[in-house]
Amino acid sequence: MSISLFSLKNKTALVTGSSRGLGHAIAVGLAQAGASIVLNGANRDRLVAAFSKMREEGMSVRESCFDVTDEASVIAAFEAFDREGVAIDILVNNAGIQLRKPMVELSTAEWQRVIDTNLTSAFIVGREAAKRMIPRGSGKIVNIGSLTSELARATVAPYTVAKGGIKMLTKAMTAEWAEHGIQVNAIGPGYMLTDMNEALIANPQFDAWVKGRTPARRWGKPEELVGAAIFLASAASDYVSGQIIYVDGGMISVL
């Protein structure tokens, strides 16, 4: 086996929600494996700050600010890539939000916002990417799931439904696009140290629950997703399709 199997040289990767958190760590990891990165986020200031830092560090990076739930903006971003001659070889559908509330208190608008951001966005961005990958006969799509792709937890119903949907969207995309040389897979992170979990990390009870419930006895670090991301974005996974790899310190394997 050659290390070049994992090289992303001459590949361009769009990582949605990569201004911070897991998406940013994945973007930096893919860049270090040789890819040119298209960094994305909805907040322009955060995006520009992340983009400038990567550029200063010598990485090949451009930024594309759009809200993944705004279909017209997604389409416009891909049309801009077309005009600029940027072919997206690798798409990581990572952008997501959390909202913690008991279901009986949840409004339909709140439900819809979580589903739109975590699930429908992956369909819309995935569709625009695949339209361009299909004629080229190659492409890699990595969707970001969660332990809630398999298991439910109180107060996060729409997130659980969206991430369960990500697992099946990964299979649906595989069913239609594998024959075009596009491999679609997913990563299911465990509990990771990011802004999304700020309140949970600061809560001693929750922190103790995560450490007790995870066989590795600790939270995950964002950069610990990079190995799985490089594998699923590279030639090393050319016959791997429709899978979800859990990077969770073993949490999903135990009761």
Ligand X SMILES: NC(=O)c1ccc[n+]([C@@H]2O[C@H](COP(=O)([O-])OP(=O)(O)OC[C@H]3O[C@@H](n4cnc5c(N)ncnc54)[C@H](OP(=O)(O)O)[C@@H]3O)[C@@H](O)[C@H]2O)c1
Identify residues 155-174 at the interface with ligand X (CB under 6 A): none
Nearer to ligand X by Cβ, of 206 and 235: the residue is 206
Which helix (H) or strand (E) segment holds residue 61: the answer is strand 61-65
Nearer to ligand X by Cβ, of 35 and 162: the residue is 162
C-alpha dist (Å) from residue 183 to 222, 233, 234: 23, 9, 10
Return the residue of 12, 64, 117, 174 that touches ligand X, per CB under 6 A.
Answer: 117
Return the residue of 21, 29, 126, 139 that touches ligand X, per CB under 6 A.
Answer: 21
Tell me if 19 contacts ligand X by CB under 6 A: yes
Which helix (H) or strand (E) segment holds residue 76: the answer is helix 71-84
Tell me if 84 contacts ligand X by CB under 6 A: no
Q: Are 247 and 146 in contact (CB under 8 A)?
A: no
Nearer to ligand X by Cβ, of 140 and 163: the residue is 163
Q: Which residue is listed with tokens 């994945």?
A: 26
Q: Are 167 and 145 in contact (CB under 8 A)?
A: yes
Q: Are 13 and 92 in contact (CB under 8 A)?
A: yes
Return the residue of 7, 46, 132, 201 that touches ligand X, per CB under 6 A.
Answer: 46
Q: Give residues with Cβ within 8 angstroms of 157, minimum separation 6.
A: 103, 106, 111
Return the residue of 41, 139, 158, 165 that touches ligand X, per CB under 6 A.
Answer: 41
In whole angstroms, the minimum distance from the beta carbon of 108 to ligand X comes to: 18
Number of residues that bind ligand X (CB under 6 A): 31
Tell me if 88 contacts ligand X by CB under 6 A: no
Catalytic annotation present for 159: yes
Return the residue of 195, 204, 205, 253 that touches ligand X, per CB under 6 A.
Answer: 195
User: Which residue pairs, CB below 8 angstroms and at least 24 apart, start in 195-202?
Assistant: 195/20, 195/21, 196/21, 196/96, 196/97, 196/98
Tell me if 97 contacts ligand X by CB under 6 A: yes
Q: Give residues with Cβ within 8 angstroms of 181, minimum separation 6.
A: 133, 136, 137, 138, 139
Tell me if 29 contacts ligand X by CB under 6 A: no
User: Where do contacts with ligand X occur on this chain (CB under 6 A)?
Assistant: 16-23, 40-43, 46, 67-69, 94-97, 117-118, 144, 146, 189, 191-192, 194-197
| Residues recognised as catalytic | 159
